[in-house]
Amino acid sequence: MDSLSELWDAVCTYIKTDGGISNAVFSLWLEPLYIVRFDGEKVTLGIESEFKFGIVRNKFNELLEQAFYSILGFPVSVEIILTEKEPEAVPAPVSAGPATVPPDELVINNRANSFENFVVGKSNNYAYAAAKKVAENPGKTYNPLFIYGKSGLGKTHLLKAIENYMKRQNPEASIIYVTSENFTNDIIEHIRNSNTYELREKYRKADALLVDDIQFIAGKNSIEEEFFHTFNSLTEDGKQIVLSSDNPPNEIPKLTERLKSRFEWGLTADVQPPDFEMRMAIIKNKADAISFSIPNNVVEFIAEQVSHNVRQLEGAVKKLQAICLLLGTTPTIEITKDAIKELMNTTQPVSVVREKILEQVALTMGVSVNNITSDKRDKNIKDARQIAMYIIREMTGMSLEEIGKVFNGKTHSTVKHSIDSVADKMDKDKDFKALVENIIKNVQEI
């Protein structure tokens, strides 16, 4: 099988398992597609039916780009073209069968975050066991369950695994998963529209409330106040609450004492960075999930070189697969070195790497380190600051909150916006992308 066919098979597997659509929708609209060409930046997909061409191009382009990004590990644009035409006919409906499902009626199928595909080891077995117990017996044990640990170690995976398990067990239940940022925005929007009753009906009547990165409500008085009453209402009714954070409750800055004490009512469980054996297991698990075969010596090499977090391990596997598909070869140590060079371990502490990044960005952009970490809004300083935030996140895996502290206390939202802006500009501007990648290279060579 040629490499483009393998790439398309991997993309199809992702769409069918994690794309949020039913098998019927996939079979009807996406299965007829095939890769015409791929130049490393744009994937051209062909389809023979003019009727289906219009539907797929209008309804599924974003999903296809997301799927290719997930498999390749880097963004590409997707172009859909009409190839050799076939006789035009609207697909005949199948009586009472699932194939009659129109493309807009998407069936959510989020298998990516389940207990079954969560790799368990010494670093997370306690949190895993507690999460599973809560999912099986909501509101009866460990309420609230508070999971904490650094970014990229699987906290979100566990929260979504709980959500998915509960929804499977009781499809009629109101299970709410929300990030603290979205919770905050929801409260602000309802207050602005003078509709706090609807807000309280939504959250205080839930059967389970799961809030990711709860630390970001700290210091926001009106948000803390609303969450305090929501917490009380849910626990009084025996409903389950699950929270995640970078730190345990008593170490969250600016969080009110009454919330700290309530967060400690139930059970706190931490997740730690994976050890070598667990990293190997994670790599094999991620590779199996995308039907990618990696020799044991390459698995060991990746596990030795990438140790910061699970998210980086997954990224390493996907990028290695993309390069092997493009080269039409199997993974070797040499190819892997090139694929994961941005992620490879350094013997230097994160603080040292961070300072080198700031120095290299300052040198390249012609501004001082002090200006980059200040609140100055000059365009060249702002650009340098955003680039520095992006590279620090990429090379060190620091949390958004930790990065914000480096830049004079910038908020989680500001840091996220900056990182997203740089990533978006890199997708659209080759010269800008080369500039950022050159700074990363210089940091690695120091």
| The two three-digit tokens of residue 387, written as one number | 């680039």
Residues 6+ apart with CB under 8 A from 332: 295, 298
Owner of token pair 């609140």: 375
Owner of token pair 């979100």: 156
pLDDT per residue rounded down to tens, the chain (446 residues): 346 777 888 889 888 877 778 888 888 889 999 998 887 778 999 998 888 888 898 889 889 988 888 787 777 889 999 886 443 333 433 333 333 333 333 333 344 588 888 888 888 899 999 999 999 999 988 999 999 988 778 899 999 999 999 999 999 999 999 988 888 888 888 888 777 788 888 899 999 999 999 988 888 888 999 999 999 999 999 999 999 998 899 888 889 999 999 999 999 999 988 888 888 888 998 888 888 889 999 998 888 887 667 777 887 888 888 888 777 888 898 888 877 776 665 545 677 888 999 999 999 999 999 999 999 989 999 999 999 999 998 777 677 888 999 999 998 888 988 998 898 888 788 888 888 888 887 887 66
How many residues are listed for the chain in this entry? 446
Neighbours of 36 (CB within 10 A): 15
Distance CA 22, CA 103 (A): 9
**CATH number listed for the domain at residues 125-270:** 3.40.50.300
Q: In angstroms, what CA-CA distances link 420 with 394, 417, 429?
A: 12, 5, 14
Q: Is 93:100 a contact under the CB 8 Å cutoff?
A: yes
Residue 116 gets which letter from DSSP?
T
Domain segments of the chain: what residues? 3-90, 125-270, 276-339, 350-445
Q: Is 205:174 a contact under the CB 8 Å cutoff?
A: yes
CATH architecture of 276-339: Orthogonal Bundle (1.10)
| The two three-digit tokens of residue 73, written as one number | 């590990």
The yes/no answer on whether domain 350-445 falls in CATH 1.10.1750.10 is yes
Predicted local confidence at residue 94, as pLDDT: 35
pTM of this structure: 0.56
**CATH number listed for the domain at residues 3-90:** 3.30.300.180
- Per-position DSSP letters for 326-393, written without gaps between them: HHT----HHHHHHHTTTT---SS-HHHHHHHHHHHHHHHHT--HHHHTS----HHHHHHHHHHHHHHH
Residue 90 gets which letter from DSSP?
P
